[in-house]
Amino acid sequence: MKKIALVIACFSLLIIFLSCASTSRRSFAESASLPVRLAPDVNSDMLTADYWIKRSKNPFKVRMSLSEIAAWNRENSNLLYPGSVSLPLLTDLRKIDSHISAAEIRDGMFRHSSKNPWLKKVKTKNGEEVHEVTQKEWRLIFEAMNYSSLESYSYFSGGKVSDSASYKKDFPVRKAICVRRTNMRLIPDDGFYTDDEKNWYDDVAQNSGMLLGEPLLVLWESKEKNWLYVRTSYCTGWVHAEDVAFCSGEEFNRYFDYAEKPQDTFVTITDDRFILPDEYVLPCESDDFSGVSEFFMGTYLFTADWNDKRFESALHPRLPYASYMVEIPYRNSAGNLSLAYATIPAGRCSLGLLDYTSANVLTLAFKPLGIRYGWGGMENARDCSEYLKDIYRCFGFSLPRNSRAQLSVAGKSVNFDGKSLSSRKSALSSLEEGTLMGFPGHVFMYLGKVDGKNYVISALGFYYFDSENPETEDALAEIPANSVNINTLSVIRKNGKSWLEMLTQVKKFKDDGSWIDDRIYFDLKWQFAEFSKINSGKAFFYKAKKKRKNITVAVNAGHGTKGGALVKTFSHPDKSPKVTGGTTLAGALESIAISDGMVFKNGRRESEVNLRTAHLLCGMLLDAGYDVLMIRDYEDVQLDNVARTVMANNNAKIHISIHYDSDNTSEDKGVFYCSVPEGIKYLPNVKKHWKESERLGECLVQGLASQDLKVFGGGKMDIDLTQTSYSTIPSVDIELGNQHTDTNTEELKKRARGLLEGVELFFQK
């Protein structure tokens, strides 16, 4: 009997062992038989955020303050896209100029290319038909893009012209707001395209999803005007015109910098997605309001004042509590931005941004669990990078669009290249839950460690694991997860390597010691600062990334201060009268703080052209190794001429102010610089530098002449300027033409190259 009992016991142990082994390597078929389909080593207890929050070491610790998040966002605008010499990781749209060249539009439209031909799926009476996109179909796509008009249309003459240099033409950039969650496409077409006949999950024409309230720039429109070619901070593409509302610059500027806003001025949608019932929307005075579409996580909505009498009467007799009154942007019948109002239940959103804690990150990460995967945001779903982008928006982070860019964002990095598996596992043990990580082609979020296994969550299409079926030729089983899903780092990529083996980067958003605050604010302690009347704005400092010379050039795009023409400052720091005329007449004790500038014969404002020229010069200076202080980087900066000069004095070696002259001539008279008149050379600060200012002016004119630009007179004209009288460094107002000057991008590039040549000459003494 003892022998029989021993045999039974051994047999029982064998069964238990085999059972455990089977559980640890559960096949997809076995998981499919459960009430919920799960990846290997994932159990149903793991499907809630609470499970992971309870296992976290310090889940409620605030990991970064709002000011730190704002600094992180600014740092990303200083970084370049991986492998690019000019494409930024993220673009501050407020710094983009008011016009764009035809060549820039063309290059943007065709930046995306595929190694393989595109295939298109078309519905027919008998089902579906798949075919390679033909040359004829591509011509129709180009026609829809309005491509022929881009080649031959002259914006300023108002019609088509025969022009061999057609790509030198400039077109206006219009500001707009997205008024519903929409798709951004690489072509103006909603069809489904693929470059892999085996893969009909990913639409290669899909670029990104955009949320309601996102600001964008409209660069071009389709032939039928039903599509717009737009630029966001993270990519460019085509969107439906009906999903976009044009707006003013003042309206546009509201939709930025949420980490820096008063947190009671907006709400953040924290639900994965929901549709607001019509009864929550106040009756709209306009007949062109079509109602509210679906809201998605990461959407920002500005709050409105509950005490507004319109709301009380509109909601009577039901005045909802525990709700926020918000603005709903929409496109009116003229295509412009209008606002409706609605109440948002507090349970669907957060007042302001959420605190950046592990608990909050994990809570948001699990709200879309099981929601289908959508390449580039197709089908109103998310891919891996968009999933993370929308989650992190709830804390104020502005992430770039794709996985490669997200793994290149600012902050401390843990690099896994070349590390052994044991070293990789050891490095993971110190990570905070909710940390962004990934490898080329995929990004995901770290959840934590359970029984020696590391878990992550992401939006993904497929994963693989060992087949275990000796009858199959394939060593790997392909699992179409097609959703936001949890898995371990032991699952396998198509190349046979585990996610842990593939892992290249973990991103911690904390300052790695390399960040610079590129904003320069006015300091009242600076010499002559007390003479400024308008100084609430800020300048931006750009550091050269190669061949750095440690020389800072202040580039001042003249004009561009709203309200500046209504304010006056002393003409000279000793309060003596002006010695020559200009915008302000000779003899005046006070001068206009900063004028509005003139208007070119083609209709463009001088302040716009000055800014475009300054941006071009800035890029060229940086490429040449100079650091640049951009005194006006936006359309409007609240800095008067005294403030601009004082900022240059204290942060740069030289100061170049860009202008175009306003006169009564009937042609482009050429370039010249404003030289120092005898009557102010006695001022103590001017006395120290006026000779070097003259030499700088001469060098700049010489550089401009090298670009075959016409020089006016002897290249200079004595003019008493506020800029000159308050300068303590070599400082020049350069006049690059007049109201008859051609302002297309190619002509402005000539002037920027000439100014760079002049700077090089000046420092080659």
Tell me the H-state helices in 394-511: 403-406, 421-428, 499-502
Nearest-10 crossing angle of helices 745-762, 684-705 = 130
Range 659-677 average pLDDT: 94
**Complete DSSP assignment for 187-212:** SS---EEES-TT--S--TTEEEEE-T
Range 386-412 average pLDDT: 96
Question: Quick check: bond before 317 cis, omega within 30?
Answer: yes
Q: Specify the residue for token string 């029984």.
A: 451
* Pairwise CA distance, residues 135 & 627, whole Å: 48
What does the block give as tokens for 282?
């106040």
Range 682-691 average pLDDT: 96
Q: Is the pLDDT of residue 546 over 90?
A: no
Helix, strand, coil: what percent of the chain each, to 5?
Answer: 30, 25, 45
Range 2-31 average pLDDT: 41
Q: Is the pLDDT of residue 469 over 90?
A: no
Residue 193's identity, in one-letter code, is Y
Share above pLDDT 90 across residues of the chain, in percent, rounded to a whole number: 74
- CATH number for the domain running over 44-67+366-508: 3.90.1720.10
Q: Is the pLDDT of residue 427 over 60?
A: yes
Of 122-131, 194-203, 308-317, 584-593, the least confident: 308-317
Q: So what's the pLDDT on residue 258?
A: 98
Q: So what's the pLDDT on residue 473?
A: 54
Q: Is the pLDDT of residue 37 over 80?
A: yes
Span 487-519, pLDDT tens digits: 999 999 988 899 999 999 999 998 888 888 889
Question: E strands, 650-730, where?
Answer: 654-661, 671-675, 711-718
Q: Is the pLDDT of residue 12 over 60?
A: no
Q: How confident is the model at residue 151 (pLDDT cuts 50, 70, 90)?
A: low
Q: Is the pLDDT of residue 155 over 60?
A: no
Q: So what's the pLDDT on residue 158?
A: 37
Q: What are phi and psi of 439, to 5 degrees?
A: -145, 170
Q: How confident is the model at residue 115 (pLDDT cuts 50, 70, 90)?
A: confident
Instruction: With CA atoms as reference, report the closest residue to 435 among 400, 409, 417.
Output: 409
Q: So what's the pLDDT on residue 156?
A: 32
Span 326-339, pLDDT tens digits: 999 999 999 999 99
Share above pLDDT 70 across residues of the chain, in percent, rounded to a whole number: 91
Span 65-91, pLDDT tens digits: 999 999 999 999 888 888 887 788 999
Of 134-143, 183-192, 316-325, 423-432, the least confident: 316-325
Task: In the chain, list all ranges with CATH 2.30.30.40.
Answer: 93-253
* Pairwise CA distance, residues 87 & 79, whole Å: 9
Q: How confident is the model at residue 382 (pLDDT cuts 50, 70, 90)?
A: very high
What does the block give as tokens for 741?
């000057």
Beta bridge partners of 170: 101
Q: Is the pLDDT of residue 282 over 60?
A: yes
Residue 301, CA distances (Å) to 73, 100, 327, 339 in order: 20, 30, 6, 11
Q: How confident is the model at residue 16 (pLDDT cuts 50, 70, 90)?
A: very low
Q: So what's the pLDDT on residue 164?
A: 41
Range 180-198 average pLDDT: 92
Of 3-7, 368-372, 556-560, 585-589, the least confident: 3-7
Q: So what's the pLDDT on residue 293?
A: 76
Q: So what's the pLDDT on residue 316?
A: 64
Q: How confident is the model at residue 468 (pLDDT cuts 50, 70, 90)?
A: low
pTM: predicted TM-score of the whole model, two decimal places = 0.90
Span 251-271, pLDDT tens digits: 999 999 999 999 999 999 999
Q: So what's the pLDDT on residue 216?
A: 98
Q: What are phi and psi of 407, to 5 degrees?
A: -80, 0
Q: Is the pLDDT of residue 54 over 80?
A: yes
Q: So what's the pLDDT on residue 163?
A: 42
Range 431-455 average pLDDT: 96
Span 593-614, pLDDT tens digits: 999 999 999 999 999 999 999 9
| Per-residue burial over 200-233, b = 16 or more CB atoms within 10 Å of its CB, e = otherwise | ebbbbbbbbbbbbbbbbbbbbbbeeeebbbbbbb
Task: In the chain, list all ranges with CATH 3.90.1720.10.
Answer: 44-67+366-508
Q: What mean pLDDT value characterizes the chain? A: 90
**Complete DSSP assignment for 495-559:** TS-BHHHH--EEEE-S--S-----EEE--TTSTTGGG-S----EEEEE--SSS----EEEEEE--
* Pairwise CA distance, residues 615 & 86, whole Å: 13
3-state secondary structure of 116: coil
Q: So what's the pLDDT on residue 458?
A: 98
3-state secondary structure of 616: helix
Q: Is the pLDDT of residue 425 over 80?
A: yes
Distance of CA 168 to the CA centre of its chain: 26
Range 207-234 average pLDDT: 97
- CATH number for the domain running over 93-253: 2.30.30.40
Q: How many residues does the chain have?
A: 765
Architecture of domain 519-762: 3-Layer(aba) Sandwich (3.40)
Q: Is the pLDDT of residue 273 over 90?
A: yes
Q: How confident is the model at residue 111 (pLDDT cuts 50, 70, 90)?
A: confident
Range 102-114 average pLDDT: 82
